[in-house]
Amino acid sequence: MDRVIKEKIEEKRPYYFEKKVIEREMGKGAPRVDEFFKPNETVLEDIDLGQIRIDMKRESEDITTEEIIETTKIIALKDHMIEITIYERKDQKDSKEKRKLALFIHGGGFIGGDVRTKGNQCRYLAQQSGAVVISPEYRLAPETPYPGAEIDVIGTIDWIEENAERLNIDTDKMAIMGESAGGHLAINTCLKDEKQRMKLAVSVYGVMDLSKAEDTPYHWDYSLYQMAEEQKDYIMNRLFRFKELNDSMNDLYLQNGESTLDGEVSPLFSKHLDRLPKVLMIEAEFDYFRVCNQEFEKRMQEAGKDFDVIYYEGLDHGFFDRLGSLSQTQDCIDEIAKYIKEM
């Protein structure tokens, strides 16, 4: 297991937000200090899902320097259809040589996000890795609760396998990756895929345990993060925001009494770690899910699994959205591209 720590670029003091992160947070107004330790009393009927989905659609910049062909298709799964988008370098589109595949699963707490919003990340990944990048528009909760999203991801893999010849894809060199909820889906798909078709799984601050903070066996708490006193309120505010979102996500995604401590639901408790391929965990210092993800790293280490960790200091959940404005986002995709090339 290799662990690489990426130091902050502009802010050199330890336990501080990176400069661009604190500037963004300060621009949002005063932290909600009086709410940090209160129980979440949000009623499901009061959740403004439409606004949450709008807030999740943060556009990035297209930083590609080569032409990327983008194709949208409707594919049929077992009993419904979904849309997928294929990204491929123009200079490789008509190649007779079999190509690697990167299946990218967007995030959004299982309740929001879409393929288009992460299109620039997919284009840049296709350019840097040379792989065909495919991203499915999986069904969202609450309209389609668990395990709908997983069914769509696994169905997309089935479709790719069935159409590999036409797509010029080498099915022995396929990777799956995602950010946030997409990272969860990438890992959980591998844990449930008895065929073990993926050779690499990448989780960008994925959610390895869907439990609410008070239900975690490792006892999530703000004290598990080292924070500079000067920025403590802003850092805790960011953690609180995702703690609050996680509670809503949990209620909207798991509608049929599923336990988050079930290994079929949360990768942290899975009994099938043997099915995992090589895993790359990408983590951020001030990410709400960092604690559960480090517990997952311990489990993989105990099981003797092959995995690496890239840890970005000073960043928080969502940094993958900021391609073009945050240099660490570009660096993150460059690192993933290296792993795909080495498959």
Provide the token pair at 205. Answer: 């601050």
pLDDT confidence band for 199 (50 / 70 / 90): very high
pLDDT reported for residue 63: 98
> 280 forms bridges with which residues in the sheet?
202, 308
**In this predicted model, what pLDDT tens digit does every residue of 248-271 receive, in sequence order?**
888 899 999 999 999 999 999 999
pLDDT confidence band for 59 (50 / 70 / 90): confident
pLDDT > 80? residue 93: no
pLDDT > 80? residue 88: yes
Structural domain including 206 reads 3-341
d(CA 256, CA 54) in angstroms, rounded, equals 27
pLDDT reported for residue 40: 82
CATH number at residue 49: 3.40.50.1820
> 134 forms bridges with which residues in the sheet?
86, 103
pLDDT > 80? residue 5: yes
| Nearest in space to 233 (alpha carbons), one of 41, 21, 26, 18 | 26
Residue type (1 letter), 326: L
Domain count, the chain: 1
